[in-house]
């Protein structure tokens, strides 16, 4: 038994606590739906899958590395100026992300417009720095950053999946993997003009509008809280 445990440990060298740091933010302690942080960008970029995936990766990168940096510096930062130090670290990382994106994927950069810059004021980043990285060791802070980034990303991907599928009838448009699922021309897998069962179907333009993101978010919160009653807001 001990041997099995040992080999398992070697394969996946993480303590229970570290695993909790990584996976807790995915559901029970989700930064978006439970801690209510970083909502601005979560809603604004989600009309299609591609920009939301890019945004999720960018935010994960920024949270993980700013957590790591601040955690390494935590004993040298005077308490009075910690906000400025944090903001400078974050702004530096965001500048790296922005320039990289501009160089390698200009259409997505154009689509995300100001929201890449707004990662600086994304409260998830500041929130994790204040709540976690200022008091914990670098490796754990790094994992916490990755976990929270993924928790943020998963919400973005769910919302944008629904909005793109029902709003435009496509998935992942703009990438080589583009799938045209349903629509009124022969390019789509289900062609509503000829298919005998889907003649009634029309893409819902509401889903493309900003308001749809808010509705879907409200429904996700509703679902999550009815599954996990301890999250219910009593007030």
175 lies in the binding site for another protein (CB under 8 A): no
126 lies in the binding site for another protein (CB under 8 A): yes
131 lies in the binding site for another protein (CB under 8 A): no
Q: How far is the CB of 201 from another protein (least distance, A)?
A: 23
48 lies in the binding site for another protein (CB under 8 A): no
Is residue 41 a contact partner of residue 118, using CB atoms and an 8 Å limit?
Answer: yes
Pattern 199-228, binding to another protein, x per CB under 8 A?
Answer: ----------xxxxxxx-xxx-xxxxxx--
Q: Which of 100, 113, 185, 193 binds another protein (CB under 8 A)?
A: 113
How far apart (Å, rounded) are the C-alpha atoms in residues 67 and 90? 9
How far apart (Å, rounded) are the C-alpha atoms in residues 41 and 22? 22
How far apart (Å, rounded) are the C-alpha atoms in residues 35 and 31? 5
Grouping H, G, I as helix, E, B as strand and the rest as coil, residue 76 is coil
User: What angle, rounded to 10 degrees, do the helices at 138-168 and 49-73 form?
Assistant: 170
Q: How far is the CB of 209 from another protein (least distance, A)?
A: 7
Is residue 63 a contact partner of residue 145, using CB atoms and an 8 Å limit?
Answer: yes
43 lies in the binding site for another protein (CB under 8 A): yes
Residue 225: partners with Cβ closer than 8 Å, 6 or more residues away: 231, 232, 233
Q: How far is the CB of 60 from another protein (least distance, A)?
A: 18
* Residues within the interface to another protein (CB under 8 A): 33, 36-41, 43-44, 83-84, 87-88, 91-92, 94-95, 98-99, 113-114, 117-118, 120-123, 126, 209-215, 217-219, 221-226, 229, 232-235
């Amino acid at each position: 038994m001990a041997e099995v445990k040992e080999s398992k440990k070697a394969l996946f060298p993480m303590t229970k606590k570290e695993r909790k740091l990584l996976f807790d933010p995915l559901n029970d302690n989700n930064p978006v739906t439970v801690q209510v942080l970083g909502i601005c960008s979560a809603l604004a970029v989600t009309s299609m899958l591609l920009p939301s995936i890019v945004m999720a990766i960018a935010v994960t990168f920024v949270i993980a590395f700013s957590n790591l940096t601040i955690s390494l510096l935590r004993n040298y930062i005077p308490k009075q100026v910690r906000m400025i130090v944090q903001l400078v670290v974050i702004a530096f990382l965001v500048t790296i992300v922005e320039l990289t994106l501009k160089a390698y994927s200009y259409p997505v950069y154009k689509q995300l417009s100001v929201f890449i810059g707004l990662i600086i004021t994304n409260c998830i980043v500041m929130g994790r720095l204040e709540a976690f990285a200022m008091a914990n060791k670098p490796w754990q802070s790094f994992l916490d950053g990755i976990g929270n980034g993924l928790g943020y990303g998963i919400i973005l991907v769910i919302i944008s999946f629904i909005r793109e599928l029902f709003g435009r009838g496509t998935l992942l448009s703009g990438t080589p993997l583009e799938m045209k699922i349903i629509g009124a021309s022969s390019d789509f897998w289900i062609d509503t003009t000829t298919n005998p069962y889907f003649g009634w179907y029309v893409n819902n333009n509401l889903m493309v509008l900003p308001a749809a993101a808010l509705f879907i978010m409200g429904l996700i919160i509703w679902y999550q809280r009815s599954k996990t009653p301890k999250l219910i807001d009593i007030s």
